[in-house]
Structure 1
Amino acid sequence: MGDPILAPAVRPAPETELGIVRVAERPSPAQAPAASSGGTSPRRTRALVLIAAAGMYIMMLTLSTALSLRLAIVDPATKEASFGLAASISALALLLAVPLSGALSDRTASRFGRRRPWIIGGLIPALAAAAVIGTATSIPVIVAAYVVAVIAAQAAFNAYGVIPVEALPDEKRGRVMGIMGMFGALAMSAGSYLAAALVGTPLFLMTVPVLLAILSSIPLLLFYNDPVKSRAELPALDLKGIARTFIVNPRKHPNFGWAWLSRLLAGVAMTALFSYFIFFMMDGLKMPIPEAGASAGTLTLISAPVSILFFTASGWLSDKIGRRKPFVVTAALLMSAGLVIGGTSTSFGQFTIAWLVFSMGQAMYLTVDMALCAAVLPDVRDTGKDMAVFGLALSIPNIIVPSIAPALLATGGGHNYGALWFGAAALCALGSITVTFIKGVR
C-alpha cells in the first residue's frame, strides 16, 4: 500500500515567526481560515474524522497483508515475484491516478461537496475489486484486481485525508493527526489479526477490510458539511497545467522538494519492512502460513501501545514547542535502526525488538511529517492535489522496492532479507539529513 512527489513550481518565500512558509501572496493551508468545513464545528469534524479513521486505516493497512497471504496460498512457489508484480504495477498506476484524483477532487462542483463523492466513488469499486481477488485463482486476474482495488481505495483515502487539513487550524493538526496515527497503529494490529483469522475464507479476507472502511465512514459522509463550491470558485480544470504541476523545480520551490525527498526515502524503509516481513517470518523464521499471519497480529498488538504513545506524544509535543524537523530526523534514525536489527534477527523475539524500534520511528514520522508537509503546501486552492502528490512519496517505493527486492533477496544463497533491509536503512538515514535543508519550518 503504503501512503507516498512532485510539486508545483513557485518561489520560495520568507519565514514567519511560526515557521510557516508564505508563498507569493497565495495562502498556504496553514494560513487558511480554520472554519473551512462549511459550518461543521472543528470539534465535530475531529470526531467524524477519527471515527472514519478506524476503518479507513484498517483497509489501507490490511490490503497488502491480505494479498501476501492470498498469494502464499494460490502461488506459494513464486509468491515474492507475484507480490512484487502486483505492488509495482499498482504503485506505477498510482503515480498518475493519485494526483489526478486529488486535482479532480479539488475541482469537483457537486451539491454533495468536493470530498464526499470521491470517498464514496473510491470505496465501492475497491470493494468490488477485493471480491474478485478473494474468488479468483488466476495470478493475472488477482494482479489486475489488486491494481483497481488499490487505486480506488487510495483515491477514497486521499479525499478523506484532506478533510482535517482543510477544516482544522494548523495548531490543532499535529494532535489530530497524532490521534489518527494512533488509530492507524490499532488498525494495523486489528487488520493483521483479522487477516490471520480470515485466511481460510479468501472472499472475507479481501472484502472485510473495505467493508469496515465503508461502515466507519458513514457518519462522516452523513454529518460532515462538506463545503459546496461553485465552478467559479474552483481552479480551472487544465489537464496539461495539472500535469506540469506534478514536476518539482527545486530551484523555485526547494522546501516542497526536500520534504518530498525525505518522505520518499522514509517510504522506502516502510515499504521494505511491511511488504516483506510476513515472507521473512515464513522463509527466515520458518513459520507456516497461518502462524506467520497470527505472528503479524502479535507484532502489531505488542507495538500498539508504543505506537500510540509516540503518535500522540510526538504530535502534541511538536505542536507545543512549534518544531517539526527534530522529530522527523529522530524518527528516520529510529526506523533505520529497526531495519538493521531486523536484518540480523534469527528469532521471533529478536525480530520483535526490531519491530518495536521501527514502530517508534514510524509513529513519530507519520505524525509530525504530515504536519510539516501541510506547512509547505504552495496553494490552498490545490490542497487535495498537493497532499495527494505528497502521498505519492510513500507510493513510489512500492515500485522501487519490489523491483529491486528479488535480486537482493536472491544474494547469499537466497532469502537475504538483511541485504534488503540494510539498504533501506541507509536510505532512510539519508532522509534524516535531507529534511534539515527545509527552510521556513523549524
Structure 2
Amino acid sequence: MSTSANPSVWRASETDEHQKKAPYRIGIALLLGAALYGGPYTGSNIVLLPAKTAELAPDSKAAIIAVMSTSAMVVAALSNILFGALSDLTRSRWGRRAPWVICGSIGTAIMLNVVAHAPTVPFLIVSWCVYQVFLNVIIAPFLGIIADRVAPKYRGTITSMFAFGSTVGSYAGQVLAAQFITTIPRGFFMLSVLTFCCGFVVAFLTREPSSLPMPKAKFDKRMVLDHFSLPMHNCRDYYLALFGKFMITSAKYAIAGYQLYILTDYMKQDDAGASHYVTIISLCMMFTAMIITVVTGIVTDRIHSRKIPVALASFCIAVGSFIPFFSAEPWTMVAYGLFAGTGLGAFNAVDQALNIEVLPNPETAAKDLGVLNLSNTGGQVLGPVLAATFISAVGYHALFPVAGVCALVGMTLVMMIKSVK
C-alpha cells in the first residue's frame, strides 16, 4: 500500500517500522463496516430466512435450509476468490478496496428486498444465492484492508475492533430481525438500509489512497495462478488455519442455523416465546462476546500469542454446545449463549490477526483472505447440513454433541500451526 509520506511508493502491507501509531481510524471503519454488513446478514440468515422458508414450505423447512446453505456456499466460494483477486488487481483513483465495497453494499441491499418478496422456494433459493454474490463483493475486499493498512504489532488490537463490530452487528441483527418474525418483508427492508450504508461509511473513514501508482500485474500464466487459484506454496499453516476455522464455525452454525426451530420444535415454544428467547440468547451472546473481544484483542498483542486464545475460545464453545443436550428447557439455550458468546468473542478477536500471519503471499492478501473466509461460508453450510442429518436420523438433541466435537476438532487443527505462537 502507499505511505502518506510518499504516495508513489507502494508496499504490499504495513510494517512495524513505518506505522508508529495504531491506525484507530481504520479500526473504526472496520468496526462499523463489519456491523453494517454482518448484522443484516446474520439477522437474515438465522431469523428471517428460516421464518420466510417456514412460511413458504412449513413441512420441509429444515431440508430447504440445508439446500439453500449448500447452494450459497458454492456461490460464495467462487465469489470470494473472484472479487478478492479483482480487488488485489484494481488500480483506480479511489483505491483497490473501496469501489468494490460500495458496489457490493448497493447490490446486497437490493437483493435483501428481493429475498423478502420471493413467491416460491426456487425463487427464494436463487435470490439468496445472488445475495451471496453481492455480499462477497463486500467481504473479500473489506478483509484486504486489514492486511493493507495494519502493521503486525497492532493487528490484535485492530482486528479486535473488527471483531467487536462483527459481534455487535451479528447479535444486534438477530435482535432486530426477531422483532419482525410476523412482518418479514419489513424486517428485510430494515436490514437492507443498514447494508446500503456500509460501503459509503467504510470508504469515508478509510480514505483509501489512489492505487494508480501501484505497479500493474502483467497478464500471464503466473499472474492468473497467483491471483485466481488457491495458494500452493508455503501454505501448510494457511490450510490448518482455514480448516480449523471451518470446524469452529460449523460448531456455531450447527446450533445457530436451527436456533428458531430448536426453540419451536425441540423446546415447544410458540412464535411469541421463540421471539422472546431469540432476543435473550442474542443479547447474552452479544454482551459476553463484546466484553471478551475487547479484552482478548489487547491481551493477544501483549502476550504475542494467537493460538492460546483460540484454544480457550474453542473449549468454551464446545462446553456451551453440550448444555442443551441434557434438557429441552429454554434456559439451556440461554446458558449456551453465555458460553458460546464468550468463546466466539475470544475467537473473533484473534481470528483475522491469525489469518493474516499465515498468509503465503501478502501481495494477494484479499484473495487469500477471501479463501480463508470460505471457512465461514463452509461452516455455515456444514453446520446446518450436519444438524439436518442428525435431526432427521436421531432428533434435535443429537446436534448438540456434534457441535461440541466440531469445536474441539477446530481447536486441535489451530494448535498444530507452527509459524504462529
Q: Which aligned pairs between 1:228-247 and structure 2 lie closer than 5 A?
A: 228-230=210-212, 233-236=215-218, 240-242=224-226, 245-246=229-230
| Residue of structure 1 equivalent to 2:360 | 378
Amino acid of the structure 1 residue aligned with 2:400: W
Superposed counterparts of 1:28-427, under 5 Å: 29=13, 31=15, 42-65=23-46, 66-230=48-212, 233-236=215-218, 240-242=224-226, 245-246=229-230, 248=232, 252-412=234-394, 416-427=395-406
Give the distance between the partners of 1:187 and 1:241, measured in 2 at CA.
Answer: 35
- Residue aligned with 1:226, SS: coil
- Distance in 2 of aligned mates of 1:356 and 1:228: 44
Contact between 1:45 and 1:167, CA under 8 Å: does it hold in 2?
A: yes
Query: What is the alpha-carbon distance in structure 2 between the residues aligned to residue 428 and residue 30 of structure 1?
Result: 33
Calculate the TM-score normalised by the size of structure 2.
Answer: 0.89
- For the structure 1 residues 94 and 302, does the alpha-carbon distance in structure 2 shift closer, same or farther, using more than 3 Å as the test? same
User: How far, CA to CA, are the matches of 2:205 and 2:160 in structure 1?
Assistant: 23
> Contact between 1:278 and 1:296, CA under 8 Å: does it hold in 2?
yes
Question: Residue 198 of structure 1: SS of its match in structure 2?
Answer: coil
Alpha carbons 1:34, 1:168 under 8 Å: kept: no
Count of matched residue pairs:
408
Query: Which deviates more from structure 2 when the two are superposed, residues 380-389 or residues 226-235?
Result: 226-235
Whether the 8 Å CA contact 1:85–1:402 is kept in 2: the answer is no
Task: Name the amino acid aligned to 2:156.
Answer: G
Report how far residue 313 of structure 1 moved: 0.7
C-alpha separation between the residues in 1 aligned to 2:165 and 2:418? 31
Q: 1 or 2 for the larger relative contact order (CA 8 Å, sep ≥6)?
A: 1
Change (3 A) 1:289 1:83: farther
* TM superposition score normalised by structure 1: 0.85
Answer whether contact 1:69 1:289 (CA < 8 A) is retained.
no
The verdict on how the C-alpha distance between 1:103 and 1:33 changes in structure 2, with shifts beyond 3 A counting, is farther
Aligned-residue identity in percent: 21
* Cα distance in 2 for residues equivalent to 1:336 and 1:192: 22
Going from structure 1 to structure 2, the CA distance change for 1:41 and 1:176 (only over 3 Å counts) comes to closer
Mean CA deviation greater in 402-411 or 384-393? 402-411
**C-alpha RMSD of matched pairs (Å):** 2.5
The question of 1:429 aligning with 2:408 is answered yes
Whether contact under 8 Å (2:13, 2:150) holds in the other structure is no
* Structure 1 stretches lacking a partner, 5+ long: 1-26
Is this contact kept in 1: 2:88–2:364, CA < 8 A?
yes
- How far the C-alpha of 1:371 sits from its partner, in A, is 0.9
CA distance in 1, matches of 2:343, 2:297: 13
Alpha-carbon contact 2:91-2:210 (below 8 Å) kept:
yes
**Aligned equivalents of 2:350, 2:34: Cα separation in 1:** 17
Alpha-carbon contact 1:32-1:380 (below 8 Å) kept = no
| TM-superposed deviation, 1:188 | 2.7
Using the TM superposition, give the Cα deviation of residue 229 of structure 1 relative to its aligned residue in structure 2, in angstroms.
Answer: 2.0
Give how far 1:154 is off. Answer: 2.6
Q: Do the aligned partners of residues 196 and 34 (structure 1) sit closer, same or farther apart at CA in structure 2, a change above 3 Å counting? A: farther
Q: Which SS does the other structure have where 1:282 is aligned?
A: helix
Note closer, same or farther for the CA distance 1:345–1:187 as it changes in structure 2 (3 Å cut). Answer: farther
Query: Is the Cα–Cα contact under 8 Å of residues 284 and 337 in structure 2 kept in the other structure?
Result: no
Matching residue's letter, 1:61? T
In the alignment, is the contact (CA less than 8 A) between 1:185 and 1:300 conserved in 2?
A: no
Q: Alpha carbons of 1:103 and 1:350: their partners in 2 closer, same or farther (altered >3 Å)? A: same
Q: Which ranges in structure 2 are unaligned for 5 or more consecutive residues?
A: 1-10
